[in-house]
Amino acid sequence: KSGCKNSGEVAEQLLIRMQEKYDRGEPTKPNLLTMNTVIDAHAKSSEKGKARKAQSVLRRIEAKYKEGDEQMLPNAFTYTTVLNACAFTFEKSDQEEAFQVAQSTYQEVMKSANLRPSHLTYGTYIKAINTLLPRDDERRYPLIESAFTQCCEDGQLARFVLQCLQDALPTQSYLKLLRGNRKGVVSVNAEDLPSQWRRNVKEKAMYFNQIREKKKVMKKRYRKR
* Cα–Cα dist 216/103, whole Å: 43
Reported as a single tens digit per residue, the pLDDT across 170-199 is 988 998 888 764 555 556 666 778 889 999
Q: What pLDDT is stored for residue 1 in this prediction?
A: 45
End-to-end CA separation in angstroms for the chain: 49
Q: Which amino acid is at 31?
A: N
Is the separation of the CB atoms in 46 and 5 below 8 Å? yes
* Cα–Cα dist 163/168, whole Å: 9
Specify the pTM.
0.85
Average pLDDT, the chain: 88
| DSSP secondary structure code for residue 17 in this structure | H
| DSSP secondary structure code for residue 198 in this structure | G
pLDDT band at 202 (very low <50, low <70, confident <90, very high): confident
pLDDT band at 204 (very low <50, low <70, confident <90, very high): very low
Reported as a single tens digit per residue, the pLDDT across 92-140 is 999 999 999 999 999 999 999 989 999 999 999 999 999 999 999 999 9
